[in-house]
Structure 1
Amino acid sequence: MTDQQPRTINVLLVEDDPGDVLMTREAFEENLHNRLDVVTDGAAALDYLRRAQPYADAPRPDLILLDLNLPRRDGREVLQEIKADPDLRHIPVIVLTTSKAQEDVLRSYQLHANAYVTKPVDFDGFIEAIKQIDHFFVSVVQLPPDVRRN
């Protein structure tokens, strides 16, 4: 164990439910010290990741929290495109969804999701799940470097 401070990471939340966005923001503001950017549909997520307008100056996320049921582009499509793109496939993607359907779990892992987390329905459980995800990806694992960072 070291006394080194956990590093700060950039997290992209792809979520269309305003309540879940609010709870995630609250978890980050009160307990976590990472940058959280939010997009509310799958098409915007891909624009953000590819730094298309209006996201030309967006930081490359170190971690993506991806809902499955999104407008414009479904989360499964977004996951498939991320993992097929050589510039993006190294970014860990956590599917964070209300779906407990086994076909969604299986399909997400077939598309190379790094983890599948079912959202707890209560506020405290949701906050705790976000904190555990953050702890694991900030303090436990070593994330790949972004070779395109300046």
Structure 2
Amino acid sequence: MGTQGRHVLLVDDNPNDLELALEVLNEGESRPQVITAQGGPEAMAYLETHRGQCERPSLVLLDLNMPQLDGLGVLDAIRADAALHDIPVVMLTTSREQSDIQTCYRRGANGYLVKPPDLSMFAETLKATLAFWLGQNQIAQSQAR
């Protein structure tokens, strides 16, 4: 299955990181719809209004360090919500701190990616992540679109 017909919620408070990720995610033929949220509050507002099986994201790419509502707060809210709890959430952050990695996994993250400083490595990382989570990964029937 390709990535078409599935969509990704990309959450990052850094406009440059959002723009860079969007460039990468919008390349190629089989690309998902990408919704962006500039921070935790905007992500939660989107998720609250798109809770239905056909509307909710197939994957959340979530920055960890954001003001107001950080990535852990968003992750906790997703995991606590029966309508959203099974959406795959991959942390996409600059932090390499073991305590951050351990905390994210303990609280339900499905993956933890450190943003590579090199543009081509960043592009490869994002493409591989989408290929796995939206392509090869098998989802339960209740998640199928």
**TM-score, structure 1 normalization:** 0.86
- Of 20, 40, 44, the match for 2:42: 44
State how many pairs are aligned: 142
CA deviation map 1:2-49 (0-9, x unaligned) = xxx514211000011112111111111113510000000101111110
- Are residue 118 (structure 1) and residue 114 (structure 2) matched? yes
* Aligned equivalents of 1:68, 1:104: Cα separation in 2: 9
Quote the offset at 1:71 in angstroms.
2.1
RMSD (CA atoms): 2.3
Spell out the pairing of 1:20-99 with structure 2 (5 A cutoff).
20-31=17-28, 32-51=30-49, 59-99=55-95
For structure 1, which runs of at least 5 residues remain unmatched after alignment?
A: 53-57
In the alignment, residue 8 of structure 2 is paired with which amino acid?
A: V
Segments ≥4 residues shifted beyond 6 Å: none
Structure whose alpha-carbon radius of gyration is higher:
1
Q: Give the 3-state SS of the residue equivalent to 2:134 in structure 1.
A: helix
- Of 4, 10, 14, the match for 2:11: 14
For structure 2, which runs of at least 5 residues remain unmatched after alignment?
A: none
**TM-score, structure 2 normalization:** 0.89
Instruction: Confirm or deny: 8 A CA contact 1:40 1:70 kept in the other structure.
Output: no
Judging changes above 3 Å, is the alpha-carbon distance between structure 1 residues 144 and 100 closer, same or farther for their aligned structure 2 residues? Answer: same
Judging changes above 3 Å, is the alpha-carbon distance between structure 1 residues 75 and 17 closer, same or farther for their aligned structure 2 residues? Answer: same
Q: Give the 3-state SS of the residue equivalent to 1:89 in structure 2.
A: coil
Quote the offset at 1:59 in angstroms.
2.9
CA deviation map 1:75-128 (0-9, x unaligned) = 111101110111110100000000000010000001110000111011111111
Quote the offset at 1:146 in angstroms.
5.2
- Of 101, 105, 116, the match for 1:109: 105
